Chains A and B, each alone.
Chain A
Amino acid sequence: MFAAAAAAKRIVETPGPGIEFPAFKEVTLGDVKHELVRKAG
């Protein structure tokens, strides 16, 4: 929805983190945090 969804979009669309999601999955802030933690090992 509003705050978390906007934050998720910002992070994914900003070059740098290099995280990817399937095209047709709604991306939430939680998904982004998961991926960031996973990439960091």
Chain B
Amino acid sequence: MFLGHGIGTRSDLPLPASLAAIGAGTVVLISCGALAVLWRRPRLNRDAGISLPQVFIKLADASVTRILLRSGTLSLGLLVCVIGFLGPPDLMRNLAPWALFVTFWVGLVPASLLVGPVWRVLNPLRLVHTALTAILRVDPEHGVLTLPERVGYWPASASLAIYGWFELVYPRHAEPIPAALFIALYAAVHAGAAVIFGRRWFERGDGFEVYSTLLGTLAPLGRRHRDQALVLRNPLHGMEAMPGGPGLVGVAVALVGTTVYDGMSGTVWWWRTVPPGRLASSTGLVCSMLVIAVVFLLGTWSLTTARDCASGLGASSAGPRPGAFAHILVPVAAGYALAHYFSLLVFDGQQALILASDPFASGLDLLGTAGDSIDYSMVSTSTIAAVQVTAIVLGHLVAAVGAHDRAVRLLPGNTAVRQFPLVTVMVVLTMGAIGLVFAA
């Protein structure tokens, strides 16, 4: 998307950045053309996949496994909070901001894309919720109030937007105490909401778990829809297994919009044009999300105004709702996030390991890394550039496949013309993203 944190410049690419942008746009365009010609019936299947051995499935699904894993993340989360509140007061010596913004938030992307919805398995708030409902004698499944179906993913969307605001706008976000306070407040709000609305809250309201779950559908390891068995599958099939519902567009827009804002707010143009301060930054963040929402609605407009569509998957006799195509924003968001944060995870992730070795700056060296400094030679700038280009192009290609398959599933006849606006949006976004990452 617009820009990455990569340390690459145009010299990192083996060809001029403008040619790279045109090349990437052409790849997406040709791929969409090939889809229109060769992909005439739905091929993605949420029941596809090869079952893993039973022993592996039983181990993964065992409640003792989950309790142990969640106990581990709960302990780590508590430790990070304590370090944030009581550890060294400055960013460069305190683990809490690094653990939250780099290890957790950025690390969640590759972890979910590789092994599925990891945060659903590791989410320590699920363990806290179980304990709280036992103490309060509340039904853990249903809570005390029913969450209306129409609420859908909107709480998760709001949750992610608030996190985005804290990370990118709130001026003291990088200080240890605000970072620890955010973790504590987030935990209290979502554990409390889950007590009230039942365990389902985590699937609909906990932004981090929803983020991981959505990204996890693109992993080669997934759940087969019909029996929920763990399977190995072509990640493209995962898009059909993506959970739908009201507010999914909001979640995807919040994810892509915050990444756009993160990139734009790091440009010289932004620094010199937009006045500093919370109001201007907040406006910028909201505008970034609105732009993404408008682009998405424009791209899918001709698909969602079709009147003669099949039913199901968010479609009705009035035409597919925009939510029927919301899943295509997930691979786009994943591609943007990888391009944007790859170098941050590789380099600043080392800082988290260094600080974890001596969390209270008391002279400990628990991991043997206390005296280390960040190794900037670990990954070359050329590799970073290659990862950025690949992530952006792949994200848009997967999105195009998902959109095309959904279109031929829902709409009869030749859908190529109806997909033209979406293809245009994909090509322009791909070219714009690469052009801006490398300053074409």
Write the residues of chain A forming the contact surface with B, with a CB cutoff of 8 angstroms. 1-6, 8-9, 12-13, 20-31, 33-35
Query: Please, how many angstroms separate the alpha-carbon atoms of A1 and B342 in the complex?
Result: 12
Q: Is the CB of B262 within 8 A of A1?
A: yes
Instruction: For chain B, give the interface size range.
Output: 35 or more
User: A1, A13, A20, A33: which contacts B7 (Cβ < 8 A)?
Assistant: A33
Q: Is the CB of A2 within 8 A of B271?
A: no
Q: Is the CB of B271 within 8 A of A9?
A: yes
Q: Is the CB of A34 within 8 A of B267?
A: no
Identity of the chain A residue whose Cβ is nearest the Cβ of B435 in the assembled complex: A24
Residues of chain B within 8 A of A9, CB atoms compared: 266, 271
Task: Name the residue among A25, A29, A30 with the largest chain B CB count within 10 angstroms.
Answer: A25
Q: Is the CB of B343 within 8 A of A24?
A: no
Residues of chain B within 8 A of A29, CB atoms compared: 7
Q: Is the CB of B344 within 8 A of A30?
A: no
Q: Is the CB of A2 within 8 A of B436?
A: no
Identity of the chain B residue whose Cβ is nearest the Cβ of A21 in the assembled complex: B268
Write the residues of chain B forming the contact surface with A, with a CB cutoff of 8 angstroms. 2-9, 11, 91-92, 97, 101-102, 167, 173-174, 262-264, 266-269, 271, 341, 343-344, 347-348, 376, 381, 436-439
Interface of A is mostly: helix
Contacts A12-B268, A26-B263, A26-B266; A34 near B92 (Cβ below 8 A): no
Task: Name the residue among A5, A8, A22, A24 with the largest chain B CB count within 10 angstroms.
Answer: A24
Q: Is the CB of B439 within 8 A of A1?
A: no
A15 to chain B, nearest CB (A): 13
Residues of chain A within 8 A of B348, CB atoms compared: 1, 3-4
Identity of the chain B residue whose Cβ is nearest the Cβ of A25 in the assembled complex: B439
A12 to chain B, nearest CB (A): 7
Identity of the chain B residue whose Cβ is nearest the Cβ of A31 in the assembled complex: B9
Residues of chain B within 8 A of A1, CB atoms compared: 5, 101-102, 167, 262, 341, 344, 348
Q: Is the CB of A26 within 8 A of B3?
A: yes
A11 to chain B, nearest CB (A): 12
Task: Name 30 A/B residue pairs within 8 A (Cβ), A-sorted.
Answer: A1-B101, A1-B102, A1-B262, A2-B167, A2-B174, A3-B92, A3-B174, A4-B5, A5-B5, A8-B266, A9-B266, A13-B271, A22-B439, A24-B2, A24-B269, A24-B439, A25-B3, A25-B268, A26-B2, A26-B3, A26-B266, A26-B267, A26-B436, A27-B268, A28-B4, A28-B266, A30-B376, A31-B7, A34-B7, A34-B9
B236 to chain A, nearest CB (A): 30
A18 to chain B, nearest CB (A): 14
Contacts A23-B268, A25-B436; A2 near B101 (Cβ below 8 A): yes
Query: Please, how many angstroms separate the alpha-carbon atoms of A33 and B4 in the complex?
Result: 16
Residues of chain A within 8 A of B6, CB atoms compared: 28, 30
Q: Is the CB of B268 within 8 A of A2?
A: no
Identity of the chain A residue whose Cβ is nearest the Cβ of B7 in the assembled complex: A30
Query: Please, how many angstroms separate the alpha-carbon atoms of A21 and B174 in the complex?
Result: 25
Identity of the chain A residue whose Cβ is nearest the Cβ of B1 in the assembled complex: A26
User: B8, B91, B173, B268: which contacts A30 (Cβ < 8 A)?
Assistant: B8
